[in-house]
Amino acid sequence: MKLTFWGAAGQVTGSMHRVEAAGKRLLLDCGMNQGRRKESDEKNRNLPFAGSSIDAVVLSHAHIDHSGNLPTLVKSGFAGPIYATPATVDLCNWMLRDTAHIQEHDAEFLNKRHEHRKSMGLEDGHVVPLYTMEDAERTLPLFRPVSYHEPHELAGGLNYTAYDAGHILGSSCVVLTDSTAAAPVRLAFSGDVGRPGLPIIRDPEPLPPAEYLIMESTYGGRLHKSSSHVVNKLADVVNRTAHRGGRIIVPAFAVGRVQQLVVLLHQLADEKHIPNIPIFVDSPLAVNVTEVHRAHPECFNAETYRYLTNHEDPFGFRRLQYVGTAEDSKKLNDLRMPFVVISASGMCEAGRILHHLRNGIEDPRNTVLITGFQAQDTLGRKLVEKWPEVRIFGEPMRVRAEIASLDELSAHADQGELLEWIQPLVPALRKVFLVHGEPAQAATLCGLLHTKYGLDVVVPAPGQSFELL
């Protein structure tokens, strides 16, 4: 078995790892890079290999930094199967279409602005979408659902099994087993490890023994605050912003985070801990993704499942409105009253959230509530770092709104949770490869895994290969 790291090596986004075994070439994930626009676009457009050279993809989960560049892979010649859990297949059905739509829409929007600037004698530059709806539609028929705990044969002597990662609906850790050699080689891939006690989904489950492990390190150097106070903290943000007559603008990942927030706001509304103000989910993707959640109660934890046994909808209540059309989205800007709007994308890099930020970030009555990890160089990261001025659609804007964070909702395991998750695997492990983390986070976790467990740990560079014997 040979392993080569191409994406999420030395950075958080763009998960993509190539495995060569049993005469096959596989990709673990094919994610989109997010960060500095020009640099990320270059990486996303130019894969380090031809898609036709890849026989299959095993997808850990539906988040765009793990799945979002599959249409580019198809554009470059890939025509093999894409294996994922049933919930992940259903999520990607909407997410890849939505990403293609955003690519096309944002390119059209920016090209109109470039034409205007050109007419004024200013700079010009034509924007081409990374991929189109047609590319996404060609990708979707390649998906093949494989349920948790069901071994699936990829080739003679090569199979994989998926386990619940507890990160988002349908997320998985996978274990590849190559039995073609004299001694079987087992490679585990963590995908993104979730946290115990998250709303909606089950806790991460333990993996069987493996000799090698590709492990995420997003929060390898940090500890999260306790999630026990998240409901009260969310209520405080809503109450103080409503008191000053402002709106709460919430960038949120359409998969997982939107649904978590809806369930928590449902609880707060039922208990009358927040004022009677409108709550909008303004994301066509989030609307469709919420329907996917409703269709997969087998992934729910016991608390969320109780809503169903009580004949309640955990994702719907009286104050909540789902916004579908762009026209209805624009009408929110005309409201002259406090309200909550939850919109994608979670890192403020694309979609309707940019329009809400453009219309609300300079008003000191408003609050921008950040609810998840923000990759380096994203707009969301700049807001968390309290930049006094940011660019939205290329225009400089003063940040006068309050910037608040709800770190307790992070769907990524922190340092302590990662150390606890890996502990049962330690006796069999020969080597650990840390990915999906900024250099400082990966380096900290690398040191801890070596000193605490005596593990051989590597932080691979892009393009670096390893023979797994």
Report all structural domains of the chain as residue ranges with CATH numbers, in order of start: 2-222+413-467 (3.60.15.10), 227-409 (3.40.50.10890)
Mean pLDDT, residues 279-293 taken together: 90
pTM of this structure: 0.85
CA distances from 309 to 115, 124, 297, 301, 306 (A): 56, 58, 11, 13, 5
Rounded to an integer, the average pLDDT of 152-160 is 96
Say how far apart CA 168 and CA 150 lie, in whole Å: 19
Count of residues in the chain? 469
Give mean pLDDT, residues 36-52.
90
pLDDT digits (tens, 9 = 90+) for 95-149: 999 899 888 987 887 787 666 555 544 455 678 899 999 999 999 999 999 999 9
Which of 125-129, 208-212, 261-265, 377-381 bottoms out in mean pLDDT, i.e. has the lowest?
125-129
- Mean pLDDT for the stretch of residues 272-301: 92
% of the chain exceeding 70 in pLDDT = 97
**Banded model confidence at residue 256, pLDDT cuts 50, 70, 90:** confident
Q: Give residue 377's pLDDT.
A: 87
The H-or-E segment that residue 188 falls in is strand 185-189
Q: Please write the tens of the pLDDT for every residue from 325-354.
A: 889 999 998 999 999 999 988 888 888 899
Predicted confidence (pLDDT) per residue in 261-270, tens digit:
998 998 898 8
Give the other-Cβ count within 10 Å of 159's Cβ.
16
* Distance, CA of 176 to CA of 169 (rounded, Å): 22
CB 4 within 8 A of CB 464: yes
